[in-house]
Structure 1
Amino acid sequence: MRLILGPMEGVLDHLMREMLTEINDYDLCVTEFIRVIDQRLPKSVFYRLCPELLQGGKTLSGTPVRVQLLGQDPDWMAENAHLAASLGSPGIDINFGCPAKSVNKSRGGAVLLQEPELMHQIVKAVRDAVDPRVPVSAKVRLGWDDPSHCFEITDAVLQAKADEITIHARTKTDGYKAEAIKWDYIRQVKKASQISIVANGEVWNHADGQQCMETTQADALMVCRGALNLPNLGNVVKYNHAHMAWETVLELLLKYSGYEIKGDKGLYYPNRVKQWFAYLRHEYPQAKALFADVRRHNKAAPIVDVLQSAKEQLFRQAS
């Protein structure tokens, strides 16, 4: 199974990618989106959001990392795609799926699902701007408020000569409601088109991954939120590995703390680790209990102390 670690704005940064690709056999990562408006962005923006460009477009463990762009102007999207490719991105991904109101308000992300013709123009401009050997992909939802629009949307991307399309199996108005998942639409798209299809949405464990692939008949699978709930989800889905033990997760939290505090995003560490805890508590009751202590602090040092104390307590209990 080809498995992709998808993007999550403000959470799955390069430090998280580094750690998750070290412990999972992912075939590809996609970055948080780079917002394109009306200019060719400086190289520093690309290096900041995708420092893997400085090491051959891969994480240290060797997983390729594809730059994702979000914008509504075909020409400027093409300009920035060309730059990203020239800096070494092993592909260009285009975001048509982000449901955030702040993004949609400025004509970015999922709001473009209402304009398939503009989507076509953007994908075509990007495809024409980069070397034919550089893969161009797009991430979409089934539609804005009607899942039957997925056929027109995917056709727009297909006709623009994209190499691959990732389909999140909900509409924008569905948000992330579990009961709204519609994997069968992906299967219908797959039957009706020749483009490579990546399925996305509501994969939390091995059984979900198997069911999603069986239902959709997709060529690959992308996981996002589940990879934060369960840090070794990649290998759980791919190889049916056992769910990571809480003691190991705690070690990862401390390792991540070292990454974040020493890295260029140290100031954001408290918010980042709290965001991660918000996901972990769905899988681990221990995370839910520990989160009550973590959330009281707004500085890195006392949060690390809380984590270290929890680790020491586990060690004492084990001995």
Structure 2
Amino acid sequence: MRIILAPMEGLVDAPIRETLTKVGGIDRCVTEFIRVTHSMLPPRVFYKFAPELHNQSLTQVGTPVAVQLLGSDPEQMGWHGRKAAELGATQVDINFGCPAKTVNKHKGGCVLMREPELMYEIAAAVRKAVPAGVPVTAKMRLGYDDRSMGVACAQALDAAGAQEIVIHARSKVDGYKPPAYWEEIAKAREAVKAKVIANGEIWSVADYWRCREVSGCEDVMIGRGLIARPDLALKIKASQQGVQVDDMTWPEAVVLVKEYASVLQGWLEDKYVTGRIKQWLNFLRQGFAEAEALWPHARKIREVAPMLACLEQVVPAKSKAAVQAA
């Protein structure tokens, strides 16, 4: 009954993986995708996206991290999968789910779900190139134009040797709009031998249990819900044991954001650090009423120090989670 932190391009970087895994409850992470084109990428690119490769592919608290690749050339994908393993990757994941227009325009991500035969070739090439002891996994949606390709694409990946398949319960056209079609994940799960992991629209403990019931999946991947409520995985794990834990408070969340900012300042210029903080704060608005109250002012700030000072302002508001049913 694992909980996996989703790879959110442009947000779930190594520093935020470190921050969230320290909170607890997360069993595995996946990197932002490494874009594979027509030439071999140097090791520094792999290390940029997955610095955990220097630590046996683990975060500092010991949470495993998979290296994710995105591309449409089977041969190149195979070579890059092998290189990832040589550099220390303990799991190689393939992205067939990214809905971004730029990515899809260059034949990457979810647009490949129009061609399950090519998905098979890509996954098979990676599986052949990667050592047998390193799992090859994949992430997909239910389809590109609609939700009709979920079963066929999952079967293609299964036949190619993917050991696990994460399915985001929407099509590309659906985007991120509710609802999530967990029942469609169940259809794909029943059609393959590979382990299927459910993803999409899990914002609370109650959502987690409904997703498991409808999809039939034991494991789930959570993205936006964990960014909005950093303690969500911890609360889910407690619920599995029949235990309730107190909600994370806003001051506790601010401590996490400050830790994240501190690490980022060693990586990026301040203007980019502020941008990343704003991205996270924008998601925190869905989990904390305090973040919602601060947002109109915080969104205008361009420097790190004033941004962090803004987050520490006292706002007379209760966390949304405190008034929502777990």
TM-score range (shorter-chain normalised) is over 0.9
Give the structure 2 partner of residue 174 of structure 1. Answer: 174
Contact 2:293 2:315 (C-alpha < 8 Å) held by counterparts: no
Unaligned runs of 5+ in 1: none
Q: Aligned partner of 1:274: which letter?
A: K
Report the Cα distance in structure 1 between the residues aligned to 2:247 and 2:101, rounded to whole angstroms. Answer: 34
Report the Cα distance in structure 2 between the residues aligned to 1:77 and 1:116, rounded to whole angstroms. Answer: 16
**What secondary structure is seen at the aligned counterpart in 1 of 2:21?**
helix
**What secondary structure is seen at the aligned counterpart in 2 of 1:190?**
helix
Q: Is 2:250 aligned against 1:246?
A: yes
Report the Cα distance in structure 1 between the residues aligned to 2:295 and 2:186, rounded to whole angstroms. Answer: 39
Give the structure 1 partner of residue 191 of structure 2. Answer: 192
Q: Which one of 278, 285, 301 corresponds to residue 305 of structure 2? A: 301
Give the structure 1 partner of residue 227 of structure 2. Answer: 228
Report the Cα distance in structure 2 between the residues aligned to 1:291 and 1:261, rounded to whole angstroms. Answer: 22
Give the structure 2 partner of residue 255 of structure 1. Answer: 259
Contact 1:97 1:140 (C-alpha < 8 Å) held by counterparts: yes
1:217: Cα distance to partner? 1.2
Q: Is 2:47 aligned against 1:47?
A: yes
Report the Cα distance in structure 2 between the residues aligned to 1:56 and 1:212, rounded to whole angstroms. Answer: 32
- The CA deviation string for residues 249-301 of structure 1, in whole angstroms up to 9 with x for no partner, is 12212222212123356552111000011101111111012122221121222
Contact 1:127 1:161 (C-alpha < 8 Å) held by counterparts: yes
Q: Is 2:16 aligned against 1:16?
A: yes
Structure 1 runs of 4+ aligned residues shifted over 3 Å read 263-267
Report the Cα distance in structure 2 between the residues aligned to 1:282 and 1:227, rounded to whole angstroms. Answer: 11
Q: 1:278 to 1:210 in 2, by over 3 A?
A: same
Report the Cα distance in structure 2 between the residues aligned to 1:260 and 1:166, rounded to whole angstroms. Answer: 29
Contact 1:247 1:314 (C-alpha < 8 Å) held by counterparts: no
The percentage of aligned residue pairs carrying the same residue is 43
Normalising by the residue count of structure 2, what TM-score does the alignment of the two structures yield? 0.92
Report the Cα distance in structure 1 between the residues aligned to 2:217 and 2:269, rounded to whole angstroms. Answer: 36
Give the structure 1 partner of residue 100 of structure 2. Answer: 100
Greater CA deviation, 7-16 or 266-275? 266-275
- The CA deviation string for residues 92-136 of structure 1, in whole angstroms up to 9 with x for no partner, is 000000001111111110000001110000000000001111000
Contact 1:261 1:267 (C-alpha < 8 Å) held by counterparts: no
Q: Aligned partner of 1:204: which letter?
A: W
Report the Cα distance in structure 1 between the residues aligned to 2:302 and 2:89, rounded to whole angstroms. Answer: 35
1:238: Cα distance to partner? 2.1
1:2: Cα distance to partner? 1.0
Q: Is 2:182 aligned against 1:183?
A: yes
Give the structure 2 partner of residue 67 of structure 1. Answer: 67
Q: Aligned partner of 2:292: which letter?
A: K
Q: Aligned partner of 1:297: which letter?
A: I
Q: 1:218 to 1:127 in 2, by over 3 A?
A: same
Unaligned runs of 5+ in 2: 240-244, 317-326
Report the Cα distance in structure 2 between the residues aligned to 1:189 and 1:14, rounded to whole angstroms. Answer: 31
Which aligned pairs between 1:275-286 and structure 2 lie closer than 5 A? 275-286=279-290
